[in-house]
Amino acid sequence: MLNKIRESFQHTRPSDDPVSEVMNRLPEHIVKGYLQNIKLKHAGVLLGLQQSTSGMDLIFTKRTTKLKNHAGEISFPGGSFDQTHDNSIIETARREAYEEIGLSQQSSEIIGFVPPQISLGTGFIVTPVIALITNDFKPVANEDEVEEIFHVPIDFFIDQANLMHEYKIYDQIKWSVYSYTYKQYYIWGLTAQIIRKFCSSIQ
């Protein structure tokens, strides 16, 4: 599995213009009705892979209920691009992963990128950074931001029977929304879309 992931993403890089890339990919009614009417912001998330006894896992966080955006939801470690701290979106993802789960650069290797995605309702254009995390890394949750850290086998997401799809109305716009339910965890929206894009590249 790891070799397949490396091969699939070895030539990927962060987009030079993630806003245009997202706009060119989305339906016209979303671009004109939503994206062109709000201030878009850049963000990065760390899609962390860690080997387990059963294969490869993805690492997730459950956000605390006191956060401003996506409170209580399942997500990857990540956050807004900060011009005062970050020279690249890679640094954003690494910084946020360190702040949220204690992941140092020495415990991870960047191996690729998923195309940028739009975060539903927040105006964030998000670049997912794929990182291989060392087996000895033990995450430590930042209690101000993270309620829980957990793993899900990649094989669960590769199984198309576990992918749900529906349409939802936000800001009077019809959005295509994907989701997964793993045990007690409901993974939906941006996070599910990133997983879907990631899995489509390794199948």
Q: What pLDDT, on the 0 to 100 scale, is given for residue 54?
A: 79
* Tens of pLDDT, residues 87-137: 999 999 999 999 999 999 999 999 999 999 988 778 899 999 999 999 999
Q: What pLDDT, on the 0 to 100 scale, is given for residue 68?
A: 64
State pTM to two decimals. 0.93
Residue of higher predicted confidence among 172 and 9: 9
Centroid of chain to Cα 136:
23
C-alpha triplet 9, 11, 13: angle, nearest 5°: 90
Q: What pLDDT, on the 0 to 100 scale, is given for residue 120?
A: 74
Domain ranges of the chain: 2-202
Mean pLDDT for all residues in the chain:
92
The CATH H-level (homologous superfamily) assignment of domain 2-202 is Nucleoside Triphosphate Pyrophosphohydrolase (3.90.79.10)
Q: In angstroms, rounded to a whole number, what is the distance separating the alpha carbons of residues 122 and 202?
A: 29
Q: What pLDDT, on the 0 to 100 scale, is given for residue 4?
A: 93
Q: In angstroms, rounded to a whole number, what is the distance separating the alpha carbons of residues 52 and 49?
A: 10
* Tens of pLDDT, residues 100-114: 999 999 999 999 999
CA distance to 34, 75, 80, per residue, from 40 (Å): 10, 20, 11
Q: What pLDDT, on the 0 to 100 scale, is given for residue 70?
A: 61
- HSE-CB for 85 with a 13 A CA cutoff: 11
CA distance to 26, 31, 41, per residue, from 5 (Å): 26, 31, 29
Answer yes or no: are the C-beta atoms of 89 and 113 closer than 8 Å.
Answer: no
